[in-house]
A and B are shown apart, each in its own frame.
Chain A
Amino acid sequence: MKTIHTDQFAAWSRRLRRSDHTAYSELFRATYDPLYRYAWQFTHDQDTAYDVLQDVFLKLWQIRERIDPTRSLKALLYQMVRNTALNQIRYDKRHAADALEDILHEPATSDAHAADLDAGDLEAEMESWIAEMPERRREAFMLSRYQGLSHAEIAQIMDLAPKTVNNHIVLALQHLRERLMAHQPDRMVS
């Protein structure tokens, strides 16, 4: 999704406003993978992530005539995925008595994954350091670093002030730098 140009999203916005079915299909094909992965960060469950993806796109078609082509469609999609996923897990927590399982899920993403890899592996260390961050900071950093979203877009998605996003990114990078310094000081000498 990082490779898709902003102009392309603006073109899809305009075509969606005209109820262009082809644009709708193209947009889904081009964006489902990162959006599904983003949804999974909240749901930790594939089936729920698929449901979120489908709900978001169904909703997008319903509101297509009100899409503002001057605003970021990419950010709108992430924002819708985020809200839908959070609603979904809130609903699940209310309805399933398995809240405990959700809590158990949380560290499983980072720790289990990190444990799979060689302890000396920088990537594995990085992943565990990313996982250590406070939830919102980690999310802002992941959207910035790995999804190529601008601070303004992240602010819209997470409903934060742009300055807060900026602070999150700086603090996230500082956190990683401290860990790197403690662990592999030679990597930071350059």
Chain B
Amino acid sequence: MKDPTLPDLQHLDEDYPDVSREKLARVWQLAEGADPFQAVPPPHPDRIDAIQATLERAALADRPALRLIRTRRMRPWMAVAASIVVLALVGLGWWLQPVSHTAPVGETLAATLPDGSEVQLNSNSTIRYPRSFGQNVRTISLEGEAFFDVQRSEIPFVIETFNSNVKVLGTSFNVQAWRGRQPSTVVTVVTGIVEVTPRRTPDAAIRLTAGQHTNVSDNVMGPTPPAEAHLDQATAWRTGQFIYYNQPLGVMFDEIEHRFNLTIEVPPSIRARRQNFIKHEVESAESLLSDLCQSVKLRYRPTANGYEVFE
């Protein structure tokens, strides 16, 4: 590693006539192990990696292609070509950016898709679709809950939730895909036929006809078999109603949480109890909770970010 040879020392004879090159070479050799650079505390690999990451980011942010516009050597036709390229890239970037709609907390939102299909979004729910939606494919992603009224077309209409694909040709149905305490995708069909495919077990796909629903949960293999649905229960949110037939109280408290974006603490023993509860007009989270607790003989009190329910 260490250079054993003395560098080419010059002017030795004229400036230092009494010094012999051989003796200096011997000193050079003996000095090998005394490297003061090795006495320095060694650099820490994490710090070096962090510096390298900073350098790479900075270098990427400063690409020559973009700086080209500022150089003086550029000819007019190059400027035009560069502008066209930049505009095309901006356009492409815009085109690749998906369209998204989100219903604000406490409200629902109606949207019409490019193919004429209509979507109503529940509070705090989001749909996303590519700008090319409807040209060759009709694929849309859903976080939360939405009701779809799909235009009939040869192109399948596919809704992607976090764990399922819901495929239809033309029909109206509800998809509930909250990722809360018990993440599941619940599909309820109002008219037409819908195909539901769990992404983890695509072979277990099932077909639902009008009035049926199914539930895809990650804890259970495959969707539950098609069952008769209470359509007014599944779509009550669309009209601001609160309708449950023989449902666990946990489901109702979860719905209040979603609609009003708050946290309700409920002991598991209470969450499991099944009840009927219907309220056609919901004024506020508090009035809803108050009526619900009264009807099932529970008490509640406010907390920092919501409510606590107890016996």
CB proximity of A86 to chain B, nearest CB, Å? 17
CB of B95, distance to nearest CB on chain A (Å): 27
Contacts of B40 in A (CB 8 A): 36-37, 40-41
In the bound assembly, the distance between CA atoms of A126 and B30 in angstroms comes to 9
- B37 and A147 within 8 A (CB): yes
State which residues 20-65 of B face A: CB under 8 Å.
Answer: 23-24, 26-28, 30-31, 33-44, 47-48, 51-52, 54-56, 58-60, 62-64
Q: How far, in Å, is B88 (CB) from chain A's closest CB?
A: 22
- A-B contacts at CB below 8 angstroms, number: 134
**Contact residues in B for A180 (Cβ distance below 8 Å):** 27, 30
The answer on a CB contact under 8 Å between A38 and B37 is yes
Closest B residue to A45 by CB, please name it. B41
Contact of A163 among B3, B11, B26 (CB under 8 A): B11
Interface flag for A91 (CB, 8 Å): no
Min CB gap B252→A, angstroms: 56
Q: Size of chain A's interface in residues, with CB distance under 8 A?
A: 57
Q: Does any Cβ of A come within 8 Å of B154's Cβ?
A: no
Check if B19 is an interface residue, CB within 8 A of chain A: yes
Contact A173 B43 (CB under 8 A): no
B30 proximity list for chain A (CB < 8 A): 122, 126, 176, 180, 187
Residues of A within 8 A of B28 (CB): 145, 173
Residue of A nearest to B29 (CB): A190
Pair A151/B7 contact, Cβ less than 8 Å: yes
Q: Which of B12, B42, B55 contacts A57 (CB under 8 A)?
A: B55
A24 touching B19, Cβ below 8 Å: no
B9 touches A21 (CB 8 A): no
Q: Judge whether B10 and A127 touch: CB under 8 Å.
A: no
Give the nearest-CB partner of B55 in chain A. A57
How far is A54 from B16 in the complex, measured between Cα atoms in Å?
A: 42
In the complex formed, the residue of A with least CB distance to B10 is A166
CA gap between A71 and B216 in the complex, in Å: 68
Is A130 close to B, CB under 8 A?
yes
- Is B1 an interface residue, CB under 8 A from the partner? yes
Structural contact, A61 and B58, CB atoms closer than 8 A: yes
Alpha-carbon distance A143/B10, docked complex (angstroms): 17
Contact among A57, A58, A144, A176 for B7, CB-based, below 8 A = A144
- Are A32 and B7 neighbours in the complex by a CB distance under 8 Å? no
User: Beyond A2-B1, A29-B52, is A177–B27 a contact (Cβ under 8 Å)?
Assistant: yes
CA distance A32 to B55 in the complex (A): 12
Whether A72 is near chain B, meaning CB under 8 Å from some CB there, is no
Cα(A53)–Cα(B8), bound, Å: 31
State how many angstroms separate the Cβ of B73 from the closest Cβ of chain A.
12
Q: Measured between alpha carbons, how far is A3 from B58 in the docked complex, in Å?
A: 29
Enumerate chain A residues within 8 angstroms of B11, measured Cβ to Cβ: 163, 166-167
Question: Which chain B residues lie closer than 8 Å to A176 at the CB level?
Answer: 27, 30-31
Given the complex of chains A and B, what is the CA–CA distance between A127 and B37 in angstroms?
10
B297 at the interface (CB under 8 A from A): no
Is A48 interfacial (CB 8 A cutoff)?
no
Query: Which of B27, B44, B52, B64 has the most A CB atoms < 10 Å from its CB?
Result: B27
Contacts A/B (CB < 8 Å), 19 sampled:
A19-B59, A24-B56, A24-B59, A32-B48, A33-B43, A34-B37, A36-B48, A38-B37, A57-B55, A58-B55, A113-B39, A122-B30, A124-B34, A127-B39, A130-B31, A144-B7, A151-B7, A170-B9, A174-B16
Apart from A25-B56, A46-B43, 6 more pairs, CB < 8 Å: A2-B1, A28-B51, A113-B39, A151-B8, A177-B24, A188-B23
- A residues touching B (Cβ–Cβ < 8 Å)? 2-3, 19, 21, 24-25, 28-29, 32-34, 36-38, 40-41, 46, 49-50, 53-54, 57-58, 61-62, 65, 109-110, 113, 122-124, 126-127, 130-131, 142, 144-148, 150-151, 163, 166-167, 169-170, 173-174, 176-177, 180, 187-188, 190
Closest 5 CB pairs of A and B: A126-B34, A37-B37, A123-B33, A40-B40, A173-B24
